[in-house]
Amino acid sequence: MDAKAKILVVDDEEVVRRSYVRTLASERCSVEAVWNGKDALQVMEQQPFDVVLLDQRMPGMDGMEVLKAIKEKWPESEVIMITGYPAVEFAKQAVSLGAYDYLAKPVGPDQVIEAANGAMLHKRWALHSDQQVSA
């Protein structure tokens, strides 16, 4: 993964946050973690992230609300929805709101790395395409 990649982990379970941070930190990228949607949006205001790993069910704002806010304000950020309660209708809703991927827990280290790498590759292609269109 690109050493410049900035990844935000948003999950209300500390063990999940720590696991994802540890996994992604080994990939030489910058990783931060917060426990809820409100904190995620505050951190994004200070410094937008390339990729956001976002839990669907959290206290306060749920993942879908956070996804919608991120894609409205920072459309270039790729969001990977992660849930312990997978359902086809939620997956469809997440994708329609702009999520790059939708993963069901438990998510292993290889799956986290693969999803984050895929999201970064997608972001690079989207930015490359935008630059060619405006040229």
Distances (CA, A) of 95 to 41, 68, 103, 122: 19, 11, 12, 14
**Sequence-ordered list of residues with C-beta below 8 angstroms from that of 16, at least 6 positions apart, any chain:** 55, 105
Q: Is the pLDDT of residue 120 over 60?
A: yes
Q: Supply the pTM of this predicted model.
A: 0.91
Digit-coded pLDDT (tens) for 72-85: 999 999 999 999 99
Cα 121 to Cα 60: distance, rounded to the nearest angstrom: 31
- Summarised one tens digit per residue, pLDDT across range 8-45 is 999 999 999 999 999 998 787 899 999 999 999 999 99
Residue 3 has pLDDT above 80, yes or no: no
- For 111-117, what is the mean pLDDT? 96
Residue 2 dihedral angles phi and psi, to the nearest 5°: -60, 130
CA atoms within 13 A on the CB side of 6: 9
- Report pLDDT for 78: 97
Taking alpha carbons only, the member of 99, 104, 106 closest to residue 15 is 106
- How many CB atoms sit inside 10 A of residue 124's CB? 13
Task: Show the domains of the chain with their CATH numbers.
Answer: 6-134 (3.40.50.2300)
